Structure formats: structure tokens, C-alpha cells
């Protein structure tokens, strides 16, 4: 028993339909949904035109140092987030209590061993 696809599910299949990557059952269901819903068919046509326009647009070459610039920014932001988190840390009970319990267990084991 086949179930009918929702509008969102059909819209997620737009990419696969344009690329020709849908399996036969999905492709048949997709075509049936488009035939049954004119608004959905219009959205798919708009999507197809947008993709065609993007494919025809000239490609820009990325700067040579783009990868190193991104990596540098990522590291800087990661460090800033860590330092900000450490400044705002107040050591809540979820952290302090287990540490105290571990220390007590360690002391007990040291004192009880012969």
C-alpha cells in the first residue's frame, strides 16, 4: 500500500528530480503529485528556472588563501568562546559535587588500605 507524499516531502525531492537521481517509484510518485497539484507544479518550475540560472552564472575563483583565512577565523572564534565561557563559569553543583565525592572516595581508599 503506497502512501501519498506530503507537500514538504515532494519539495524535498525537487533536487533529486532536477538531478535525475530519483528512483523509479519516487519519480512516478513525484510526477503524480505534480500533476495533481498545480501550485506545487508552479513551484517546481520556479525552482527549475532558478537552478538553470545558477548553472549559467559565471563562476568566480576563490581567493588562494581562502582556506587558511577560514581556519584562522575559526580558531580565533573558538578561542574567544572558550575564554568567555571560562570567565562566566561559576562551577555549578553538577561539577562540584561529583568532584567532592571522587575526592572523598579517594581519601577513604587511601586511609582504609593497610
Residues 29 and 2: beta-carbon distance below 8 Å: yes
- At 33-82, the pLDDT tens digits run 888 889 889 998 999 999 899 889 888 887 788 888 888 888 877 666 66
pTM, full prediction: 0.49
Backbone region of residue 61 per phi and psi (left: phi > 0; alpha: psi in -120 to 50; beta: other values): beta
pLDDT in tens, 73-108: 888 776 666 666 666 666 676 777 888 889 988 888
Give the integer Cα–Cα distance in Å for 33 and 75.
47
Residue 37 grid coordinates: 497539484
Distance from the Cα of residue 57 to its chain's centroid: 26
Q: How far is 82 from 88, CA to CA, in rounded Å?
A: 10
Amino acid at each position: 500500500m503506497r502512501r501519498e507524499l506530503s507537500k514538504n516531502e515532494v519539495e524535498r525531492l525537487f533536487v533529486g528530480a532536477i538531478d535525475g537521481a530519483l528512483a523509479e517509484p519516487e519519480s512516478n510518485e513525484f510526477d503524480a503529485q505534480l500533476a495533481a497539484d498545480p501550485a506545487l507544479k508552479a513551484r517546481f518550475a520556479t525552482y527549475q528556472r532558478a537552478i538553470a540560472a545558477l548553472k549559467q552564472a559565471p563562476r568566480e575563483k576563490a581567493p588562494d588563501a581562502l582556506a587558511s583565512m577560514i581556519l584562522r577565523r575559526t580558531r580565533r572564534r573558538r578561542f574567544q568562546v572558550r575564554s568567555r565561557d571560562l570567565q562566566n563559569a561559576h562551577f555549578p553543583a553538577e561539577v562540584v559535587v561529583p568532584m567532592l565525592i571522587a575526592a572523598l572516595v579517594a581519601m577513604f581508599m587511601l586511609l582504609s588500605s593497610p
